[in-house]
Structure formats: C-alpha cells, structure tokens
Amino acid sequence: MTIPTVEIKDDAVRLIDQTLLPAECRIREVKTKEEMWEAIRVLRVRGAPAIGVAAAGALAVEINRSSSVDSARLLEELEAAADYLATSRPTAVNLFWALERMRETGRRHRELPASELKKVLLAEARAILAEDREMGRALGEAGAELIPEGSGVLTHCNAGSLATAGFGSALSVIYVARERGKSFRVFADETRPLLQGARLTAWELGREGVDVTLICDNMAAWLMKTGKIDLVITGADRVAANGDGANKIGTYGVALLARAHNIPFYMAWPSSTLDLSLASGDQIPIEERPAEEITIIGGTRLAPEGVKTCSPAFDVTPGELIAAHVTERGIIRPPYAENFRRVFAAEQGLE
C-alpha cells in the first residue's frame, strides 16, 4: 500500500502513468495545467479521488511557477486554471470539489503576499492528499466487517491505491479486512474498455498478496449463479443526495445482477465523492468516450473500420440497489437521503 499514485512537489505533480500498467510502473512528472488536463483526459491518472488530488496539486504547482508578484493576479490565474482543469472530465465530482477547495483557499488568503499565497496553496493541495489517504484508511476500517471470512468478493474497475492518493476505497476495505486476518477471494472484473480491473486492480491486489482472480465483465452473472460471489464492492465517482451512485460503466449492471442473486452490493467512497447539490443520480453528467478505446487495443484493431460505437464511461446505480455506502464516517444504510443529511450535514453547510 505504498504505491506513490500521486505526489505533490513544489514544481511538479509526480504520478504513476497508469496507461502503462501493468507492463511498466513509470513515474511521470506533470509540470503544467495543460499536461495535467491531458493526463486526466487520457487516464494517466484516474479514479475519482486521485483525480481530485492530482488536479489540486497541478493548480498549486501552476501558481507556484507563476512569475506574477501580485496576489490579485495570482488569484486570477488560479481561477482560470481551475476553470480549465474542470473541463478535463465531467462525471467524478471530486475534481470539482478539489478545485473549489483550492479556489476558496486562495480567496481566503487574498491578503497574503504572493510568495506566501503560493505556499498556502501548495500546503492546501498536500492537505487534500493527506486527507484522502486518511479517509481511505478510515473507510477501509469502517467497511472491513462487511467481508465475511471465506467469502468471494467481486469488484469492478479499480477503486484501489491507484484510484486515490493512498489506500483506495473499495480496495481499502479489502486491504483492512486482510490485515485483520480474514481469508477471502477477490474476483476482479476486467472492466472494458480500458481494462482498469485487468491492468490495475489485478496488479495492485497481486502486489499486496491478495488472492485475486481476473474475469471478463460478462462472466460476473454466471459466477454469482454458481455460488462464487458473496458480495460486491465498488468505488464511486459521484454520489447524489438520495444515494444514487455514478461509477465506472458496468457497475449498474453488476448491481442488478447482485440483486437478482440476493447478493449485497456496496459502494465505498470518501466524502469528497458526495454531491448533496444533486437530488438524484439522474442529474449526474455521463461522459462519452471515443470509439478507439473500444475498437483498438495496443495497436490491434478489434472491430471493422468505421463501426459505430456507443461508449458511456459511467453509469448510475440507483440507491435502492445499494445495500450500504461505506465512507470514512462509517457504514451508511438506507434511507440514504435522511442518513446522508444526518452524517454529512455539518461540512456541507446544511446546518
């Protein structure tokens, strides 16, 4: 669990280029907002929490590099850079949450001299990173009890160390359950089209010595039917006030299949993933990805030239299919609208 997914230096954000995994674990130095926009867009860094941390880091580094000596000018640059980075991906809310937190930090310290403002922004980005690690650990501690001894656990996409700055969300639950001496088996959906399950989840679980078996997405139903899966746990990219959760495409289908087999389905996420401004998941924008991500792998064309595709990057799982949400504040059960309000009201300014 010492994977350096994202690190924030004074002059660069260092991140593992996840497009190269599992063949190669290479650190990439991202020095400008344009480079970070591209890194987020092509999924060199991915996973809702990790995107938030990386974007916050890129903002701080961008401002730290600025030649402006005037704080008002730095704040303008901060706002412009945040607006720009916000266009990199639309669905995960942690990106907007982290950018907003950086903007607010800037505004709050607008009276500081430029050199101090730069330091405050770097410190804030690092605080976001540190808190993400702590939240990941805490939600793992909270959720570990959900994994019964000897069970089969299905996960989809990658909600692990590589999706966060630290322990992960869904996989943090798995890591903590294992630390506590539980023995169980994880099945990882490969997660087409970009294969985060095959490339990232299988890699990081294997590295930690967790018993992991890779399957194609379309095999999950049959494994449930034949008794190999006892629970499903995934991450989330944005959770609405009613408990609906957006996550990697395919999650909604897995949740329906779990329901059909009476298997509990859980979503695990740090509170930066919660968007109480949305009444329901219907309002979450769903990113559409390019055809080539489906039709080409490693230079091999898998489908006829010019074939039409449809490639939503995410889907929304209705709260009623989710047995519980696992957060750093603990396990939250339905009714979600009520229980989210109770647990998260203070920091979302609802009280």
Give the shortest CB-245-to-a second copy separation in angstroms: 13
- Contact letters (x/-) for a second copy, 289-328, by CB under 8 A? -----xx-xxxxxxxx--xxxxxx--x-------------
Binding residues for a second copy, rule CB under 8 A, total: 55
* Backbone φ and ψ of 312, nearest 5°: -65, 135
**Residue selected from 37, 96, 97, 203 as contacting a second copy according to rule CB under 8 A:** 203
Record the tokens describing residue 166, joined without a space: 């630290």
Q: Is 276 an interacting residue with respect to a second copy (CB under 8 A)?
A: no
CB neighbour class for 197 (10 Å; exposed up to 12, middle 13-18, buried from 19) = buried
Give the shortest CB-305-to-a second copy separation in angstroms: 8
Q: Is 112 an interacting residue with respect to a second copy (CB under 8 A)?
A: no
Give the shortest CB-150-to-a second copy separation in angstroms: 17
CA dist list (Å): 282 to 49, 91, 94, 165: 21, 12, 18, 29
Q: Is 25 an interacting residue with respect to a second copy (CB under 8 A)?
A: no
Residue 281 corresponds to which amino acid?
A: G
Record the tokens describing residue 175, joined without a space: 């890591």
d(CA 44, CA 163): 11
d(CA 172, CA 84): 31
DSSP letter assigned to residue 333: P
- Listed in sequence order, the residues at least 6 apart from 2 whose beta carbon sits closer than 8 Å to its beta carbon are none
Give the shortest CB-243-to-a second copy separation in angstroms: 17
Q: Is 334 an interacting residue with respect to a second copy (CB under 8 A)?
A: no
- Active-site residue 17, yes or no? no
Positions annotated as catalytic residues are: 237
Residues that bind a second copy in the complex, under the rule CB under 8 A: 22-23, 187, 189-193, 195, 198-199, 202-203, 206, 211-223, 225, 228, 249-250, 252-254, 256-257, 259-260, 294-295, 297-304, 307-312, 315
